[in-house]
Chain A
Amino acid sequence: MTIDAPVRPQAPPATPEAPATSGRPGPFGKAIPRREDLRLAAGDGRYLDDLGHEALAAAFLRSPHAHARIIDIDITDALGVDGLVAIYTYEDLDGRVAEPLPLLIPHPALHAPRTNYPLANGVVNHVGEAVAMVVATDRYIAEDAVERIRVQWEPLPAVVGLPAAFAAEHAVHPDVPDNVAAHMVQSVGEAHAAIDAAPYTMELALHVERSASMPLEGKGVYARWDADDRSLRMYSSTQTSTSVRFAIAAKLGIPVDRVEVVTPDVGGGFGVKIMHPWPEEVLVPWAAIRLGREVKWVEDRREHFISSAHERAQEHTVRVGFDADGRILGLDVRFLHDNGAYTPYGIIVPIISSTQLLGPYKLGSYRVEFHSLYTNTVLVTPYRGAGRAHGCFVMERVMDAIADHRGLDRAVVRERNMIQPDEMPYDQGLIFQDGRPLIYDTGDFPASLHKALALVDWSGFAAVRDAARAEGRSVGIGLATYVEGTGVGPYEGAHVRVETSGDVVVATGLTTQGQGHETVFAQIAAQELGVPIERVTVTTGDTRRFKYGVGTFASRSAVMSGNAVAAAARKVRAKALRLAAAALAADESELELADGEIVVRGFSSSDGLPGPRIALATVAVLANPLRYAFDEEAQRATQFSGQMGATPAGDGPPVAEGEEPGLEATGWYSPIRSTFANGVHACVVETDPETAEIKVLRYCVVHDCGTIINPMIVEGQVHGGVAQGVGGALYERIVYDESGQLVNASFMDFLMPYASEVPRVETDHLTSPSPLNPLGVKGVGEAGIIPGHAVIASAVEDAEGFRIDRMPISPSELWELRRRHAAGEVPSLRRASSLQPGSSLREEPA
């Protein structure tokens, strides 16, 4: 199979349909301020720890060892703590709570999956693994008791770092002696043969270190058990309340209809909160049921570092074959992925890496092989960018290396390898993270590139460099492109109801961690229903309001729930028109819905002609035929009012055949596969000649996320992503020592960027609507972060004149590279010699 031409027939005949009311004034597509800010900006948000002030507090004893056997747990001392309510260890767990936590995403290539127990069962596999749970009257007291629990440990050899894991001198899990959890190969064409036959070949070793999502609010769980009603309500700071509900119901053996999971306001997620159920999500409700008391656990920062998931660590070995023009003929990537101690989230991250690595390029042939390895460290699950950041780093480093090898402009090499717009949709011939073919739907990659080159003034940079040189300063320019699979299935749904007041109430299953869903989903509903946005309220992540859904991850919310809200609103709109037509004795096709009322076309208030009309609120009243009125408005829907329902003449049933009472509907969106956004980042850095400090002087982003619902929110997503990308490239890393201690588990030592480190972001965009969904939208949540490593490496390399092949890069690491470069241990870039004052970067000649 070759990837030169798409081989799969294109399934969907779906044409992008603009919003039903597009062309009319409405909030869709506008930069309107966020509706949730009235609450959040006033300090009136309700985050997990703002709830349950009377609840008992839980705290956990966590392993101080990376790998150890538990010989004995002695709680005698702790029992004397005043205010102690309960202490639980593994021995106390019962039923399915005593079983390992679920394997969320099984995959045939994950041949040795391992998941942890809620509390360690005889052995711990990373520092921070929960060993005992203490419940007390408050958190201070619970921690007092934790400190007094004595554990006798038998330390075991710790496996830390990919080389050690691969060498497998010691095993994390004794029944997985080679530490290999998964091994997977995907290929398109004959990459090895193509590389061997290519005019030029190169090998690169490219590494990315561990980092973490690090939301400002940690996780938290609060559970209330109603013993009389035999029902559980649980609040969790999660990215998926619907899935937590099913998982907890199954674990605790409670019928799922007796479990409600509510996600309150959430202080950021970035991936780590899509993992579930965390041990605490099982244990807190379990304890609440056992004790018959409300129980709450709020993660502190150290706990978050040592027990919540990390990401990013991968080591790649790349072989590439290319021709004199810089066209890639074959690419072979082998990489090791550090999955930590357990694999509950499967191998999603390395799968995304291996597929999204291809970016906007068509390669002659491609082979990717990875080993996902156990280490005695915290488990690894997606962090914003999830595998894409590393994939992008690899591909873009290869592009820069080829350009340097051939003495070509880095932009030219990229463009020569790009998929052209007339080749869309383009099938990369691989299977993506949703189990579906990796087919790019739309996008104009060369146009994105050219926009970025213009924005950063690529061709004018030689003069900038010369000017800097003249002042004794060293600057460099970098470039990186990406394609981002967004809106992965399987589905989301939404419910839209028009109240008898005319207010519109929207609910969807997925959750919100700052993305502005209350605003963008309201924009969609308001547009579809022709009501002012002020009349629309949106609830997310509350299973009392919407039970089915998947969750918020992979830049999917606008695509998935956005289209589900549109689908539901369109059904409501159709029903409103049907009922109004009957009430007004008009034909549906003559009616239009605007400003909260239904009028005969040509007779709207703006036309200045008073004509037959009916308020949406009245339609909502009539939609629910009543026997008993509850207020004056409702009297219109009662039996003797003469107005009831769609059958004013009284010759049919009050609720017509095929209709349901109420002006409401549920809509669903389930895509056949992901939709692909793309973009290009370019940045300028300055490297200090003495201190090797790296400063980002300019950062430009061009992105294409299809139809935009709210440009202000899209822009905000990009800014935030860039900040995390810059942080990941220059400052942040999770550091384990060889014994498996996490040595920088605080904000003092894990360096998230402050305002002084984050550059101002200059943006531009293209709009290539997706044909895969009615709104034409694509996701944008990860657009800002994906090329972070790649673009900054590209710029630092350009400033320094030698190759950068691992990220993040600190001043001391750059300083060391300079020393080794001066000593002849690190070769110069071929173009470095030409980068003298007056030379033109445009040519980047060899």
Chain B
Amino acid sequence: MSEPTHEVKLTVNGVPHSVSVPARRLLSDCLRHDVGLTGTHVGCEHGVCGACTVLLDGEPVRSCLLFAVTVDGQSVTTMEGCRSAEGGLGPVQRAFMECHGLQCGFCTPGFVTTITAFLRDNSDPTEEEAREAIGGNLCRCTGYQNIVASVLRAAEILREGAVE
């Protein structure tokens, strides 16, 4: 007998989506394979690495710890939603490129979404606050130093943008 499915309505990066998924479908899998946005990555599927972090109604959550059906009607921002309006690198993403804040890039989506939310609340962080803000995400490549620099650079880019 085939598994029953549920209609789930989501707004992803501002675009409404409706998907039909089994109750056990993880939000991470739903975003990646049903909505087709593979910018969200899965590093552990047990809530520790943070690669799957997306913003749910603006707040960072681990999409591997949520079922898609539990976020019906909510809005999700993914890595793709952190791009610039023209589709190029967004401010946080640009900072990562400028500061060499990524190597393999697998952890990057979780950092970019987390930092996007952090800078919304703290537009001028100290280095220590920047390090603290990324303290829940694992990166196996960079040693974090350039990610901390990316946070500070992103804040700078965003402040410049706000002034313009």
Contact = CB atoms under 8 A, between A and B. Distances in A.
Interface in A33-82: 33-34, 36-38, 40-47, 49-50, 53, 82
B22 to A, nearest CB: 7
B45 A300 contact: yes
Q: Which of B37, B141, B142 has the most C-beta atoms of chain A within 10 angstroms of its own C-beta? A: B141
Top 6 nearest A-B pairs by Cβ distance?
Answer: A43-B39, A267-B106, A514-B104, A43-B79, A40-B105, A514-B103
Given A43-B112, A141-B3, 11 more contacts: A37-B102, A42-B80, A46-B38, A217-B41, A301-B44, A514-B103, A514-B104, A716-B146, A720-B143, A755-B134, A755-B144
A34 B94 CA distance: 11
Interface in A125-140: 140
Given A41-B97, A43-B83, A82-B1, A758 B144 contact: yes
B36 interface: yes
A43 B1 CA distance: 37
A39 to B, nearest CB: 8
Interface in B12-51: 22, 24-25, 32-33, 36-46, 48-49, 51
Given A40-B102, A50-B38, A215 B140 contact: yes
B118 interface: no
A748 B49 CA distance: 9
A113 interface: no
A342 interface: no
24 contacts: A37-B89, A37-B96, A38-B88, A40-B104, A40-B105, A41-B89, A41-B97, A41-B108, A42-B90, A43-B40, A43-B93, A44-B39, A47-B106, A50-B32, A216-B104, A217-B43, A265-B104, A301-B45, A301-B46, A713-B100, A715-B100, A719-B146, A746-B46, A752-B140
A800 B43 CA distance: 38
Q: Which of A33, A214, A217, A760 has the most C-beta atoms of chain B within 10 angstroms of its own C-beta? A: A217
B56 interface: no
B97 A216 contact: no
A301 to B, nearest CB: 5
B98 interface: yes
A36 B39 CA distance: 15
A83 B42 CA distance: 24
Contact of B140 (A34, A40, A216): A216
Interface string A288-301: 00000000000011
Interface of A: 33-34, 36-38, 40-47, 49-50, 53, 82-83, 140-141, 214-217, 265-268, 270, 300-301, 513-516, 712-713, 715-716, 719-724, 746-748, 752, 754-756, 758, 760-761, 784
Contacts of A37: 89, 96-97, 102, 105
Nearest to B34: A53
A216 B49 contact: yes
Contact of B104 (A46, A513, A748, A756): A513
Contacts, number: 176
Contact of B22 (A140, A270, A723): A140
Given A301-B45, A724-B140, A266 B22 contact: no
B104 A267 contact: yes
A53 B145 contact: no
A747 B41 contact: no
Contacts of B36: 53
A147 to B, nearest CB: 13
B63 interface: no
Contacts of A140: 22, 24-25
Contacts of A760: 145
A31 B100 CA distance: 10
A214 B94 CA distance: 27
A214 B32 CA distance: 23
B3 to A, nearest CB: 7
A214 B46 CA distance: 15
A755 B139 CA distance: 8
Contacts of B141: 216, 268, 514, 716, 720
Q: Which of A41, A267, A270 has the most C-beta atoms of chain B within 10 angstroms of its own C-beta? A: A41
Contact of A41 (B41, B96, B146): B96
B60 interface: no
A661 B36 CA distance: 43
B136 interface: yes
A516 B134 contact: no
A113 to B, nearest CB: 31
B43 A33 contact: no
Given A41-B97, A712-B100, A755 B109 contact: no
Interface string B104-139: 111111001000000000000000000110111111
A759 B89 CA distance: 29
Interface of B: 1-3, 22, 24-25, 32-33, 36-46, 48-49, 51, 78-80, 82-83, 88-90, 93-94, 96-98, 100, 102-109, 112, 131-132, 134-148
B138 A747 contact: yes
A82 B3 contact: yes
A604 B3 CA distance: 71
A240 B22 CA distance: 37
A45 B109 CA distance: 11
Contacts of A270: 140
Contact of A42 (B32, B88, B136, B140): B88
A578 B94 CA distance: 42
Contacts of B104: 40, 215-217, 265-268, 513-514
A40 B107 CA distance: 10
A501 B79 CA distance: 34
Given A34-B97, A43-B39, A724-B140, A216 B107 contact: yes
A88 B112 CA distance: 41
B145 A41 contact: no
B91 to A, nearest CB: 11
Nearest to B90: A42
A713 B102 CA distance: 10
B143 A723 contact: yes
Contacts of A267: 41, 43, 104-107
A722 B143 CA distance: 7
B142 A723 contact: yes
Contacts of A53: 33, 36
Contacts of A723: 140, 142-144
Contacts of B39: 42-44
Nearest to B51: A216
A707 B46 CA distance: 43
A716 B142 contact: yes
A34 B42 CA distance: 24
A754 B137 contact: yes
B42 A49 contact: yes
B145 A754 contact: no
A216 B106 contact: yes
B93 A41 contact: yes
Contacts of A754: 135-138, 144
A782 to B, nearest CB: 13
Given A716-B142, A716-B146, A747-B46, A43 B100 contact: no
Contacts of A82: 1-3
B36 to A, nearest CB: 7
A33 B89 CA distance: 13
Given A43-B78, A723-B144, A752-B138, A746 B108 contact: no
A33 B146 contact: no
A747 B49 contact: yes
Nearest to A141: B3
A796 B102 CA distance: 31
A43 B80 contact: yes
A715 B103 CA distance: 12
B109 A748 contact: no
B97 A755 contact: no
Nearest to B151: A755
A588 B108 CA distance: 49
Nearest to A726: B143
A140 B46 CA distance: 16
A595 B32 CA distance: 42
